[in-house]
Structure 1
Amino acid sequence: MTTTTRWTRRHLDLITEDPATTAPPILGPAEAALPGLDLWDMWAIQDEDGTTALFDGRELWMGLTAPALGHPEDRHDVARIRLLALDAGKWIDLGNLFPDEESPGSREWSGTAIRRPDGTVSVFYTATGHRGEPRPTFVQRVIEARLPLGNSRQPRSGSHREIVRSDSEFYLPADDLEGGPGNIRAFRDPAWFRGHLLIAASIPWGDRHMGAIALTGPESEGWPLRPPLLIADGINREIERPHIVTHNNLHYLFFCTHHQSFEPPDTAPTGLYGFVSTTLDGPYEPLNGSGLVIANPATQPDQAYAWMVLDDLRVVSFLDYRGPADRTHFGGTVAPLLKLHLEGNRTHIEPAIGIS
C-alpha cells in the first residue's frame, strides 16, 4: 500500500548553500551536441532492471529537440524526440525517433525508454496537444510506443497507445488549452521502474494546484493509478521528471523543479531534489534533510535543468540559461556530467566528469 510522503516548508527551511549540494559553475563556450538544434531533457535507454543498456557496445539516448531558432521557450511547442548514440564520449545524431505525424500529440515531451527481452524498446513519453490541432494546447497523455531500434537514421515506426490517464480520485486532469511551462497542470514525464511508472502529476490545492508524483500499479495489472507517492505540500506547483534509482538496497526517488515553481517563488533553488526509502511504496525521507541534492550555483541560478540520475550515479542535465532568458544566453545542449555519492540519507556531488 502506497504511503504518501509530504514535502513541506519545514524541509525547505533546512536548505543551506553547501558545496556538497552545489553544482560547479559552467563556464566558457558550449559546443552544441546537435548543431542547429536545441537539445534538452535527455534519457538513456535502460534494461528492465534499470541498468543502462548497451547496443553493440555503445549507449543509445533520447532527448527532446527543436530548431535552434527564435526564443528558446518556443521550443516546447514543436518538441520532437530524437535518438542519439554515445560512442567513446561523442554524441552521434540518429535522427527523429518517430516519423512525422505518427505521435498522437502535436509535439512530444519527456519520458523514458526500456529495452524488452525480445529486443524491442518501449518508449514511454508524453504526447502533448493533439495531432493536427490549429494551435498548441497543453493536454498531456502518457503513451507507450513499442518499436525496434537499429543504427539507421530513418525514423522508426511503431504502435502508440495511451496507457494511463489522470483521474479525479487522486490527480487533476492535465487538459489545459492555454498556458505555458510552469503555468499548466501536469500528467507527464513517465519513468519506468520495475514494471511500474512514475509520473509528474498535479493535485488540487484550494483554487490552485500543487505538484505530485503519481505511481502506477504494475504493467501486468494494466497500470492502475495509486495514491501519490509524494506531494509538494503547498510549497511547489511543478515537480518534473521523477525517477527512482536503487543503491545499496535503498530506493532513491529523484525529481527536478525550478525556483519560480515554489510557493512563494524563489524560496528554494532550481535543482535536483530527492528522497529515500527502503521500499518502493514509501514512506520516503528527504535526502540531506531538505530534499536538495544538486542546486545550480547562486552566480548562475538557471545554468542547468532536467537532471536524470543513471544506475551508475552519473547525472545528466542540459545547459539552460547562463544569464537572461534569451537566445544569446541559452545553451540548448548537454551540460557537463556530474556524479553523485549516496550514503543512506546523505548525498554529495563528486567532481564533474566530461563526456569527451
Structure 2
Amino acid sequence: MTTDRDGRATWTREAAGRIERTDGTVAPVIYPPETDRFEGYHVWDTWPLRNRDGSLAENDGYRVVCALTTTDDLLPGKRHDVASIHYFTSRDGESWSHGGPLFSGDALGSRQWAGSTMYDDGDVYAFYTAAGERGEDDLSYTQRIAVATGGTVDVEDDGLRIDGEWDHRILLEPDGDRYERPDQSRGMTYTFRDPWFFEDLETGETYLLFEANTPTPEGADPCGGDVEAGNFNGSVGIARSPTGDPIDWELEPPLLDAVCVNQELERPHLVVRDGTYYLFVSSHQHTFAPGIVGYDALYGFVADDLRGAYRPLNGHGLVATNPANAPFQSYSWTAYDHGDEVLVVSFFNYYEYVGESLDGIADLPESEQRRRFGGTLAPTLRIDLDGDRTELLGTLRHGSLPLPSEELSPVDLGGRLRGTDGQGGSYRS
C-alpha cells in the first residue's frame, strides 16, 4: 500500500492481484428464509440506525434498519430506477416489521440511493444519495450527497415510528479536482454516493465518508501504459465538518483510491478498535480493472489512524465473499463491532444463479428473474478481526442485528466455516 502526497492511501495492483477465495473468506450458500421476506416489497442495500458515536441505536428495546425499497411488482433489475428509503423495526434484532417510507414527503432526486442514518439526542439525520433530478422525464445518473433533518423517533404501544417534517438539502457535490464530475467520466460507472456519518472518538472530529472517483485527466498515464486499466478510478472520499454540525461539510482529499484497480468502492465505512482504523467497502467482480480477478465481496483495509497508510487486510483486501457456486447471493455489506468479533449485515441478492456477471439475469424469463432475487435481509456474518488478518467464523440467521451487549453463542473451532477449495459449503461439526 502506498500513500500519495496529499495523504491518501492507494490500493495497488500488486496487492489486488493476490485476491483469492479461501476457507476463511467464503460464506456458505444462502437459501430463502421462511419468514421476514417483506411480502410485496424488494428490499436491498440495508444499514442500521446508529447513534452519533457509531453504536447501534436502541429505543425502548427497538432497533432499526433502513433499506432501499420498491414494490415487488417491478422486475428486480429495474429497482434502482425508482428506489426510495424505507425503515424496518425489531425488538429482538431477529424478526423485522416494515415501518414504511422513511420520508413523509418528496425527497431530492428522481430516486434515492444508499446512505446512513444517525440518531442524536432525539433527532434523526438521514444522509442519502440524491440520484437524478426530481421530475426528470429520462433517468439521469447525476449523484449528490444529501441530508434530511427534522425526523424524530416515537415509541408507542403499537411499535416504533419515525416521523417528522423533513427538511432536505444537498450537502456535497464533486469538485472536479479531488472528485470526478459526471462530465469527466470516461464512460465507466460513475459514482458520488453512499454517505456514511462518522464521529472519530479518538480526535472528536466529525466526518462523512462516501464513494467517488478520482479524476484522471485525458492523456494521463496512471497505469504505466495500460490505457484500459487507467479508466478504473474508484476512491473512498471524505468530508469534514469544521463545526461538528452534521449539515456543515468541507471536502477533503480521498482516504483511499483504487486507480488502475477498481471502479466502485461502494458503501465505505469504518470500525475503530483500540485506536486501529478498519476501512470496509463493497465491490463487484465486474468493476475490477483488466488483469485483476476479484469477486462480489466485502473488502477491507487497516491503518493506525484515520489518515494513515491503509494496508489491505489479509494482504490483498478480501474479507468475505460469496461462494463460487453462488457468486451473487449477497451484497452491500456493513460491518460493526461486537466485542471480540465484527458482525456484517447485508442483503440477499440473486440465488441459484451462476454466471459470468449479473447481466445474464436479464436473459432469464421474468418469472425466474423474480424467483431468484432474494430481496430481503441476508444472514449476518461473524468475522474474527485480529490485526491485519480476518477469518469468517460463521453466520447468524437472516437479518440478525445483535447489540454489543447481547452475547453470541461460542464458535467451536471444529464448527468454523470450511469450504471445499474455496467453493463454499456448510459448517463442519
Query: Structure 2-normalised TM-score?
Result: 0.77
Find the counterpart in structure 2 of residue 120 from structure 1. 123
- CA–CA separation in structure 1 for the residues paired with 2:167 and 2:305: 33
Find the counterpart in structure 2 of residue 327 from structure 1. 370
Find the counterpart in structure 2 of residue 351 from structure 1. 394
1:189 maps to a residue whose letter is: D
> 3-state SS of the aligned residue for 2:315?
coil
1:232 maps to a residue whose letter is: A
Residues 1:199 and 2:210 aligned together: yes
- CA–CA separation in structure 2 for the residues paired with 1:169 and 1:28: 45
- CA–CA separation in structure 2 for the residues paired with 1:254 and 1:209: 19
Find the counterpart in structure 1 of residue 222 from structure 2. none
With 320-329 and 45-54 compared, the bigger mean Cα shift is at 320-329
> 3-state SS of the aligned residue for 2:314?
coil
Q: What is the root-mean-square deviation of aligned Cα atoms in Å? A: 2.2
Residues 1:136 and 2:139 aligned together: yes
Q: CA deviation at 1:205?
A: 3.5
Residues 271-310 of structure 1 show CA distances to partners (whole Å, capped at 9, x for unaligned) of 0000011111121111000010001111111110000012
Match of 2:53 among 49, 53, 58: 49
Q: CA deviation at 1:45?
A: 0.8
CA contact (8 A) 1:271 1:293 kept: yes
CA contact (8 A) 2:236 2:255 kept: yes
> 3-state SS of the aligned residue for 1:229?
strand
| Over 6 Å off, 4+ runs | none
Match of 1:315 among 323, 339, 344: 344
CA contact (8 A) 1:270 1:296 kept: yes
> 3-state SS of the aligned residue for 2:165?
coil
- CA–CA separation in structure 2 for the residues paired with 1:134 and 1:220: 39
- CA–CA separation in structure 2 for the residues paired with 1:4 and 1:65: 34
> 3-state SS of the aligned residue for 2:286?
helix
- CA–CA separation in structure 2 for the residues paired with 1:78 and 1:303: 22
Summarize the Cα distance change of 1:335–1:225 in structure 2 as closer, same or farther, 3 Å threshold: same
Residues 24-74 of structure 1 show CA distances to partners (whole Å, capped at 9, x for unaligned) of 111356645311111011111111111001011121111110111343120
CA contact (8 A) 2:208 2:238 kept: yes
Structure 2 unaligned residues grouped into runs of 5+: 200-205, 219-230, 354-359, 362-368, 401-429
Summarize the Cα distance change of 1:153–1:7 in structure 2 as closer, same or farther, 3 Å threshold: same
Find the counterpart in structure 2 of residue 187 from structure 1. 192
> 3-state SS of the aligned residue for 2:250?
coil
CA contact (8 A) 1:81 1:98 kept: yes
- CA–CA separation in structure 2 for the residues paired with 1:30 and 1:288: 35
CA contact (8 A) 1:174 1:184 kept: no
Summarize the Cα distance change of 1:8–1:176 in structure 2 as closer, same or farther, 3 Å threshold: closer
Question: How many residue pairs are counted as aligned between the two chains?
Answer: 350
CA contact (8 A) 2:19 2:293 kept: no
- CA–CA separation in structure 1 for the residues paired with 2:50 and 2:33: 31
Alignment of 1:229-244 (within 5 A): 229-244=255-270
Residues 328-347 of structure 1 show CA distances to partners (whole Å, capped at 9, x for unaligned) of 31111111111221111011
> 3-state SS of the aligned residue for 1:204?
coil
> 3-state SS of the aligned residue for 1:45?
strand
> 3-state SS of the aligned residue for 1:327?
helix
Find the counterpart in structure 2 of residue 306 from structure 1. 332
- CA–CA separation in structure 2 for the residues paired with 1:29 and 1:87: 19
Alignment of 1:1-356 (within 5 A): 3-27=7-31, 31-88=35-92, 89-100=94-105, 102-117=106-121, 119-146=122-149, 147-151=151-155, 156-174=164-182, 183-194=188-199, 195-205=206-216, 208-218=231-241, 220=243, 222-264=248-290, 267-312=293-338, 313-322=342-351, 323=353, 325=361, 326-354=369-397, 355=399
With 221-230 and 88-97 compared, the bigger mean Cα shift is at 221-230
Q: CA deviation at 1:144?
A: 1.2
- CA–CA separation in structure 2 for the residues paired with 1:337 and 1:170: 35
> 3-state SS of the aligned residue for 2:154?
coil
1:169 maps to a residue whose letter is: D
With 337-346 and 11-20 compared, the bigger mean Cα shift is at 11-20
Q: CA deviation at 1:233?
A: 2.4
Q: CA deviation at 1:130?
A: 1.3
> Which structure would you say has the larger Rg?
2
Residues 175-206 of structure 1 show CA distances to partners (whole Å, capped at 9, x for unaligned) of 799x9xxx431110000111200010012235
CA contact (8 A) 2:57 2:64 kept: yes
Summarize the Cα distance change of 1:175–1:40 in structure 2 as closer, same or farther, 3 Å threshold: farther
Q: Identity of paired residues, percent?
A: 36
Summarize the Cα distance change of 1:30–1:287 in structure 2 as closer, same or farther, 3 Å threshold: farther
Q: CA deviation at 1:16?
A: 2.5
- CA–CA separation in structure 2 for the residues paired with 1:19 and 1:248: 27
